[in-house]
Amino acid sequence: MAKHKKRSKTNGGEVLADVKERETIEQHWRSAGRPRARKPAKKYKYVDELAHLQVELIKLQEWVRVRGLKVAVIFEGRDAAGKGGVIKRIAESLNPRICRIVALGTPTERERSQWYFQRYVPHLPAAGEIVLFDRSWYNRAGVERVMGFCTEAEYTEFLRSCPQFEDLLIRSGIVLVKYWFSVNDEEQERRFQERIRNPTKRWKLSPMDMESRKHWIEYSKAKDVMFAATDKSKSPWNVVEADNKKKARLNCIAHLLAQIPYEHMMPVEVEVPPRQADIGYKRPRKSSQRFVPKVY
């Protein structure tokens, strides 16, 4: 394997680090990782731990598929807290037909007139599926509350009915896991400035993100009220300390794996049948096709 430089602050350095990470993960996939129960070494390597956890996620996925489980995972938290990073690491090694990411945009006029939870119901998992909600119905307790996008009555009704709604989901057989990513003020500010400087990350800063900076304390108060109303024994909030992105990813994935008892379900190797023999087929001439220019 070719050697790579350590991650630098430049975009090129991040690309090299990502390549190194993928190569290490592929090595672990081939060896099926170390035993699940073994604790990480004190001086662990991030890519080794991530590779091990992603192998376990593959086993979990197979268990969910075979046993017909329905898993919904909610990711909430401050802007730039690292939700997208952990969602990416969970989903990248899994089958997109089994593990889906749901990130809904601004509700339409029709959706605003519906029962509040209605727009989320079609995205809930069916048997054998895992759904990762990149923000969820908790928008009402956060941005809608702080920015005045809902009435006081709608907000009050949400806090009252949300635990009942989640209780219905759990009673229907859905495994519901909720994460709140917590980041300190200084680290969030550093990440905001990084996104402003980096053109490949500026898309993450929406006008609403910029406006929310003016309401920092209101968001903190809204989060506290939300926790008080919706942190229930059957559907608790699991807080992820996210000042360190890499540790947050590992801790979150390890915790998620512990929420669903699963057995070793690594997909078995398949025997590849022989390819059909050449029976006179001739490929068309290259000049008759449009090829992508070889820029690289």
* Domain ranges across the chain: 12-266
pLDDT by residue (tens digit) across 206-220?
777 777 777 888 989
pLDDT by residue (tens digit) across 97-146?
999 999 999 999 999 999 999 999 999 999 999 999 999 999 999 999 99
Distance CA 86, CA 72 (A): 15
* Mean pLDDT computed over 180-205: 80
pLDDT-derived band at 10 (thresholds 50, 70, 90) equals very low
pLDDT by residue (tens digit) across 157-192?
999 999 999 999 999 999 999 999 998 878 877 877
Which top CATH class is 12-266?
Answer: alpha beta
Residue 264: per-residue pLDDT: 80
Rounded percentage of the chain residues whose pLDDT exceeds 90: 63
